[in-house]
């Protein structure tokens, strides 16, 4: 198999994104990645960390760079304000988002095969006056896709979400039959095409405690979730639920499951991150491009200290390569 062409966005320049990109020079990678971000920021962070790494300039009109020891290919996106480890600067937010815009442009032209995104800081982008709910929603808009699915995977566990970055009080209203059906179709198809599972088995969590207790603790399971599951089961999908979330994540229950669909962010992801934090990958399902990411945030307190752990970025690169090859068949 030919090595995939992987783009990496540096993410929030004040966070550990630059540190993680620089750390790649010490590892065997699935192909030669190109980092999209500020070359000056990377140079400054390399000096702070004592990393001796050559930063090679690259532009989309050039051939994809060859692997080269102790070097990193960089598509330079200058920042309007200096980048300092641990110090957020709202004035850089627009340039950070430009990295995502440019990545999708390059992928849509067929000049790269997959995108791996570094951690971004939602707060500083919103402080800059730019509405930003997260990578998942932003990339969906860039790709012209109405609905995508966020999934984290690590150490044999895959957890997808029916809703993503919403206040808890808005979750119940957001779980509607049409969107839930679309989510399950996207998840089922991705398990087949991106992960090579011919007949995936999906466990579906209920929304309410004890999966609604037969309607006594809420009717979302009876009125929304169960009808959708029954309809898709009739098409042959192996869906099981709605199951109480407090007992769903037991090893015995999970051992024959290929994925879990949780109803909201903090129903499923605390379990996944407890199980596989640092080794998990965030994957956006339903995009026309391959996109993976790290399972953590910007860790401003670790930026520039040399203590940032690169394992999740490495896992994201390997997962992006795997999905790319699976899609190619």
Give the end-to-end CA distance of the chain in Å, rounded to a whole number: 11
3-class SS string, 264-284: CHHHHHHHHHHHHCCCCEEEE
pLDDT in tens, 213-258: 999 999 999 999 999 999 999 999 999 999 999 999 999 999 989 9
- Specify whether 110 is located in the same domain as 157: no
- Specify whether 63 is located in the same domain as 118: yes
- Specify whether 323 is located in the same domain as 238: no
Number of domains in the chain: 2
What average pLDDT is seen over the chain? 96
**By residue range, what is the domain housing residue 282?**
149-286
Please report the pLDDT score of residue 1 as a whole number: 56
- Specify whether 281 is located in the same domain as 292: no
- Specify whether 280 is located in the same domain as 226: yes
Q: DSSP characters for 87-133?
A: B--GGGHHHHHHHHHHHHHHHHTTS-SEEEEPP--HHHHHHTT----
Q: Which residues of the chain have pLDDT under 70?
A: 1
């Amino acid at each position: 198999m030919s090595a995939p062409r992987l783009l990496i966005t540096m993410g929030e320049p004040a966070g550990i994104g630059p540190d993680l990109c620089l750390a790649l020079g010490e590892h065997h990678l699935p192909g030669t990645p190109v980092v999209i971000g500020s070359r000056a920021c990377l140079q400054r962070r390399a000096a702070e960390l004592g990393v001796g790494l050559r930063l090679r300039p690259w532009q989309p009109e050039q051939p994809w760079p060859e692997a080269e020891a102790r070097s990193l290919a960089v598509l330079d996106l200058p920042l309007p304000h200096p980048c300092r480890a641990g110090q957020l600067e709202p004035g850089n937010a627009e340039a950070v988002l430009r990295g995502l815009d440019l990545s999708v442009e390059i992928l849509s032209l067929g000049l790269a095969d997959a995108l791996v995104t570094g951690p971004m800081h939602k707060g500083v982008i919103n402080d800059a006056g730019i509405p930003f709910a997260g990578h998942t929603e932003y990339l969906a808009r860039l790709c012209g896709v109405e609905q995508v699915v966020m999934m984290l995977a690590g150490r044999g566990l895959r957890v997808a979400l029916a809703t993503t970055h919403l206040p808890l009080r808005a979750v119940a209203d957001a779980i509607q039959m049409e969107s839930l059906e679309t989510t399950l179709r996207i998840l089922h198809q991705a398990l087949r095409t991106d992960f090579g599972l011919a007949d995936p088995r999906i466990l579906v969590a209920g929304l309410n405690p004890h999966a609604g207790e037969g309607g006594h603790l809420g009717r979302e399971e009876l009125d929304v979730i169960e009808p959708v599951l029954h309809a898709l089961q009739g098409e042959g999908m192996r869906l099981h639920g709605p199951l109480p979330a407090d007992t769903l994540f037991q090893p015995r229950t999970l051992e024959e499951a290929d994925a879990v669909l949780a109803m909201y962010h903090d129903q499923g992801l605390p379990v996944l991150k407890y199980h596989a934090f640092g080794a998990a990958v965030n994957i956006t399902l339903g995009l026309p491009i391959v996109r993976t990411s790290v399972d953590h945030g910007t860790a401003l307190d670790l930026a520039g200290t040399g203590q940032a752990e690169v394992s999740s970025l490495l896992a994201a690169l390997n997962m992006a390569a795997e999905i790319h090859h699976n899609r190619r068949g």
